Structure 1
Amino acid sequence: MGIYDRPYLHDEEHSSGWAGGRSVVVNLIIINVVIWVLGDVFDTPLNSWLELKSNLFQQPWQVYQLLPYGFAHQGVFHILFNMLFLFFFGRELEDIYGKAEFLRIYLVSIVLAGIVWVVFTAPTQSADEPPARVLGASGGVMCVVMLFVMHFPRRLIYIWGVLPVPAWALGAFFVVGDLLGMAQARQPGQVGVANVAHLAGAAFGFLYFRMKWNLGRLVPSGLGDLKRTLLRPKLRIHDPDRESRDLSRQVDAILEKISREGEASLSKKERRTLEEASRRYQRRKQ
């Protein structure tokens, strides 16, 4: 089988990705909607357990709140707009970065947005008033929107399906709106618009694109490569068939990585391996 005929080079919808092959964006929306129904529609204490509070530094054992607060929402419009933006802007980014890297970007942006919100909000709280609290996916969604804007600044976005607006203008509108929102006084101890969290998410998306980060490279790749390096024989016997099989296995692993994390996750060595495999494949066809 030629390397370009392998199934994971084709459309990812047939792959066995996260949760039965559904996109990460769809799964995130499902999780958010389920939590919203349980916590807000049924009016259970769930939201109060998940929301992030401004006294986190005084109660560090509640650090777990830095992630789940981004999956809880209050009010139908809160979740509606967040999930619409995630759906319309996130799917194309998932195709660019791959399922795993897109999920890492989204989750990290939620955590970072929460940390920044606590840092900015905690000093404004007095000891005799209840802590401010925040919930919602807006920090992660703003990161997604900013990444989309950076990739496709001139893409036309049709507001309500009618008014065409370039992506860069929509992104600028959101950023300016949050900057103006930060300038307005907020009532302490209440759930409001966490403008600083929005800006933190947007800033992370901007820096991720400009700095060409890849969060997957921060995850240890395992001990497999180290073991092969340590056990590599000192003397090598030239065996073209074995070399071809070894190259084929390397290509399989690299293409699976592309399917999971996107082409941007490849190292220079992995790109050279694909180029060598392509040259050999072309020579066999001639």
Structure 2
Amino acid sequence: MNILDDLKMQYKLGGIGLKMIYWNIGCFLVSLVFFYQFKFGAFDFPNWIALSSEPSVFVLKPWTFLTYGFFHNDFWHLLFNMLVLNFSSYLFLTFFNSKQYLGLYILSVIFSGLIFALGFNLLHYSGTIVGASAAIMAILVAATTYSPLMGVRLFLFGNVKLWHLTAVILILDLMQFRLGNSGGHISHLAGAFFGFIYVKLLQNGTDLSKIVSVVLDFFLNAFKKPGTPFKKVHKNYKKPIEKTTSRIVVKDKKQQQIDEILDKISQSGYESLTQEEKEFLFQAGK
């Protein structure tokens, strides 16, 4: 099995968390081919992929409220996000299922994009964003909200409570709000807020992820090839009569004669046999 086959097998057998990592890496590789400017060493994402804060742009390209959540600015941006996504996915899927994971990922990306666009317009800023950070924060905060006291073992710090780790990440985001990448930090905090709200609503009986499941099922069924209608054929069916096999073993004539001669020997001795019986027994013994 070569590397490509191994990757295909991992994708097929892996859970939704691994599939989401594959999708993000795949989008990064595509962007590396089409949108990376090797001369300047930077990405130039078109406004039909990156989410712009300009209403004149995102109104005409509403799908960018989703697509921006699968692309990254550089390799280190991707690497850090995928490491945190892998960690957060493991925690989330400990308590929730794959449909809830996918629903939360998609809805948090859309929600965070809306908050980014609204926030930048209120602050009179202009810019674009890409990255899965908002969805990752939503998944991490959702798991933390559900089980804040869950123990997590970190490489340098040992065992800590999950809420301690999440709190540190959120505080760092708040501290960097004015330092740069304001749009990214707005979307991060919006994703965290959405993850918190998602779990609280879920605990009250409202699962927002069902919205995504219904939409995806609709499109899957719409593009599914119609199958041939099932026709039920009625036949006069008769149960076959089972043939009973006799348990009585019928000996052949030769064996029966041998048994009779042996009985005669046991009762009267060999000398009681006739010459014909002696010759028959002799021939049978060959």
- Which TM bucket (shorter chain)? 0.5 to 0.7
1:90-109 correspondence to structure 2 within 5 Å? 90-109=89-108
* Equivalences, count: 196
Deviations, residues 193-231 of structure 1 (Å, cap 9, x unaligned): 611111111111111112223125446699xxxxxxxxx
Change (3 A) 1:202 1:36: same
Q: Give, in angstroms, the shift of residue 95 of structure 1.
A: 4.6
| Aligned-residue identity in percent | 23
8 Å Cα contact 2:139/2:195 also seen in 1: yes
Q: Give, in angstroms, the shift of residue 104 of structure 1.
A: 0.6
Letter aligned with residue 55 of structure 2: L
Q: 1:256 maps to which residue?
A: none
TM-score in terms of structure 2 length: 0.61
Q: 2:71 maps to which residue?
A: 72
Q: Which of 125, 137, 140 lines up with 1:142 in the alignment?
A: 137
- Cα distance in 2 for partners of 1:39, 1:58 equals 20
1:214 matches 2:212:
no
- Cα distance in 2 for partners of 1:24, 1:151 equals 20
Deviates most, 197-206 or 72-81: 72-81
8 Å Cα contact 2:27/2:71 also seen in 1: yes
Moved over 4 A (4+): 216-222
- Cα distance in 1 for partners of 2:72, 2:33 equals 10
Q: Which of 10, 24, 27 lines up with 2:16 in the alignment?
A: 24
Unpaired runs of at least 5, structure 1: 1-18, 223-286
Q: Which of 195, 202, 212 lines up with 2:192 in the alignment?
A: 202
Kindly indicate whether structure 1 or structure 2 has the higher relative contact order, using CA contacts under 8 Å at least 6 residues apart. 1
Q: Give, in angstroms, the shift of residue 162 of structure 1.
A: 4.7
Letter aligned with residue 168 of structure 1: W
Q: Does the residue aligned with 1:73 lie in a helix, a strand or coil?
A: coil
Unpaired runs of at least 5, structure 2: 1-10, 38-42, 218-286
TM-score in terms of structure 1 length: 0.61
- Cα distance in 2 for partners of 1:59, 1:202 equals 23
- Cα distance in 1 for partners of 2:24, 2:197 equals 26
Deviations, residues 82-119 of structure 1 (Å, cap 9, x unaligned): 11111112134235322112101111001101110110
8 Å Cα contact 2:92/2:143 also seen in 1: yes
8 Å Cα contact 2:100/2:209 also seen in 1: yes
